[in-house]
Structure 1
């Protein structure tokens, strides 16, 4: 069911949500969190679709904030809020409210969103594009226990990565880090099997790949060895090589969903290591809403971690 509201208020939106549930015969609210998506019209469809797919694992109320920048002076003096309320099959397993804000309303998005949050439930804010430099200090980010950004959506990801490192707050995370979960799991399992100290390391990827940089920093902090960044022609992270006295530990995935794992003294084996959809990444982030300490370590890098430990 879809309900369109023009020049509306948060109170009217809440009433439409209640009425929509009643009309469908499902008055009870069984959602576990509020997901706030801050995006533009161009990326709204894909973002909503990813959130609705993730809601099958985490039923949620999804609030989509679209700030419509007006061009004429007349429009700027006419603040307005339009909403599209979706319940039932049109909203995955939860509810979706698309909020289009005009004029001065877009400067106070937090005031619009606040009355629409589920009571006593966690709040997650996701910026698919155009994330603020300091998510925790953003008015919408300040409402959330979890703040999700994506370094793949910026023009200079490594420069923005440094900004995020200096402004990190508990609850911040990035999908460039989430994409590494299968890599980190496979590397941890390989090191458990090899049971030998690592003396060198290299991460191979396309140039300026933020996931590769985060992976290299994580390895440096965990293994306490320098990690070489190797530029290859392949997409995203293509290989990790860990040197030991017994031989190299190698995970090689030049393309496709399969990787080749090589351990010293053992035959190579093929492992699944696919590139996951955005909905899967969001679903993973919603499984835990506490601070991701490993992300903080990887973001800051071994040098900053060592300096922080010395200060303690």
Structure 2
């Protein structure tokens, strides 16, 4: 067994002292003017510090600082708690940071306030230098309104986009949304990032995303944090069949069992389980006659019988999804088992062992069993977001998996066990 390793300590961006502002405003011009003033004051303070060091003859050296020039990131939430979570995630981004992060939220739990205007907070955040790179400074703007005034958010977000940079929308709330805010923000963005695990109705959420993916502009890329959580599971699955001798076994797989996270402390891993099954089905040319159905005697377990193979050589493929409350599954998977030809041609397993490691095993006739342990830490929210921020093209593999998952998803089931 390989000794468990952990993530290196993450450097979190912290507020630059004195480089912040907070007020109630009515238009974007006030925000833009204040941003310019904050940057002027910040630059003047750094110049004064450098001159003072030179005049005193000290050789402390002013650490170089770079202003991030990567992208505009707009994030949307529906509560102060989610807005705070978004800010924490953005501050924890490593290696890739937005030039300007704008967090928008309308507090649906707050008192009714028909008065117009927006509460705005601006701050400069600094990521300390690391691995020979200079410190990086970027902007974080938080804008909130009452639920009645949500339509104002889009009108102020668009003028705040820095020119000549890609625009990314991180919709950090339920992806089933047809609000004016969602529509207007998508219209100005080059990439949309959602988390299908947050859908209150999983089947409806996946089908909504399918419809949206089919209708959105060709130059807009859709990303899903639930899909990003599956990266190690998809990678390890493909590695089973890298060798030429194992590749034909793919056409014999007839049983798939997936255990997904279903804890009250995390978003459900149900959408992740559906996307994993959708990935297998779309890649291997399986066909689904309908959605998953509850297993008799255990309504928390879902099963579907798919079809595979060409006419005259068809076979059935059983796909089973089981929930678990184990925290290790978090918002994704705990284990996967693939069997080929009833297990006679091979059995392949992937199991999450702990927060840092995943175990894989393969058993095939006339071959030695192979068991290995792989370092695959459970990614945090900042890791997932950073991976998605590096992608600006559409992912046809994800979109095919999403379509298949939407076909499989049982209508009306949220992904949370009815206990």
Which is higher, the Rg of structure 1 or of structure 2?
2
Aligned pairs for 1:97-112 within 5 A: 97-102=141-146, 105-112=149-156
Q: Quick check: 1:205 aligned with 2:259?
A: yes
Residue ranges of structure 1 left out of the alignment (5+ in a row): 305-312
User: Is the contact made by 2:168 and 2:192 (CA closer than 8 Å) also made in structure 1?
Assistant: yes
Match of 2:69 among 25, 31, 38: 31
**Structure 1 position 149, deviation (Å):** 1.4
User: What is the alpha-carbon distance in structure 1 between the residues aligned to residue 386 and residue 144 of structure 2?
Assistant: 25
User: Is the contact made by 1:220 and 1:227 (CA closer than 8 Å) also made in structure 2?
Assistant: no
Per-residue CA shift, 1:56-110, capped at 9, x if unaligned? Answer: 42343100111245644xx31x201121001143997411000122476521322
RMSD between superposed Cα atoms in Å: 2.8
Q: What residue is the counterpart of 1:178 in the other structure?
A: 228
Per-residue CA shift, 1:271-307, capped at 9, x if unaligned? Answer: 1233210000000001111112111101101897xxx
Aligned to 1:297, the other structure's residue is in SS state: helix
User: What is the alpha-carbon distance in structure 1 between the residues aligned to residue 90 and residue 157 of structure 2?
Assistant: 17
Match of 1:145 among 182, 190, 208: 190
Which stretch has the larger CA shift, 260-269 or 131-140? 131-140
Summarize the Cα distance change of 1:38–1:249 in structure 2 as closer, same or farther, 3 Å threshold: same
Match of 2:174 among 113, 118, 130: 130
User: What is the alpha-carbon distance in structure 2 between the residues aligned to residue 247 and residue 28 of structure 1?
Assistant: 54
User: What is the alpha-carbon distance in structure 2 between the residues aligned to residue 99 and residue 105 of structure 1?
Assistant: 12
User: Is the contact made by 2:68 and 2:137 (CA closer than 8 Å) also made in structure 1?
Assistant: no
Summarize the Cα distance change of 1:103–1:246 in structure 2 as closer, same or farther, 3 Å threshold: closer
Aligned pairs for 1:8-87 within 5 A: 8-25=26-43, 29-39=67-77, 40-54=79-93, 56-68=95-107, 71-72=111-112, 75-76=113-114, 78-87=115-124
More helix by share: 1
Q: What residue is the counterpart of 2:247 in the other structure?
A: 195
Aligned to 1:86, the other structure's residue is in SS state: strand
Q: What residue is the counterpart of 1:118 in the other structure?
A: 162
Which stretch has the larger CA shift, 149-158 or 270-279? 149-158
Q: What residue is the counterpart of 1:301 in the other structure?
A: 404
What is the number of residues matched between the two proteins? 301
**TM-score of the aligned structures, taking structure 1 as reference length:** 0.85
Aligned pairs for 1:214-293 within 5 A: 214-225=275-286, 226=317, 228-233=319-324, 234=326, 235=329, 236-244=332-340, 246-253=345-352, 255-264=354-363, 265-293=368-396
Aligned to 1:131, the other structure's residue is in SS state: coil
Aligned to 1:115, the other structure's residue is in SS state: helix
User: Is the contact made by 1:216 and 1:227 (CA closer than 8 Å) also made in structure 2?
Assistant: no
User: Is the contact made by 2:91 and 2:125 (CA closer than 8 Å) also made in structure 1?
Assistant: no
User: Is the contact made by 1:219 and 1:227 (CA closer than 8 Å) also made in structure 2?
Assistant: no
Residue ranges of structure 2 left out of the alignment (5+ in a row): 1-18, 47-64, 129-135, 263-267, 287-316, 408-419
**Structure 1 position 114, deviation (Å):** 0.9
Summarize the Cα distance change of 1:93–1:157 in structure 2 as closer, same or farther, 3 Å threshold: farther
Summarize the Cα distance change of 1:181–1:103 in structure 2 as closer, same or farther, 3 Å threshold: closer
Aligned to 2:25, the other structure's residue is in SS state: coil
Summarize the Cα distance change of 1:301–1:134 in structure 2 as closer, same or farther, 3 Å threshold: farther
**Structure 1 position 175, deviation (Å):** 1.0
**TM-score of the aligned structures, taking structure 2 as reference length:** 0.65
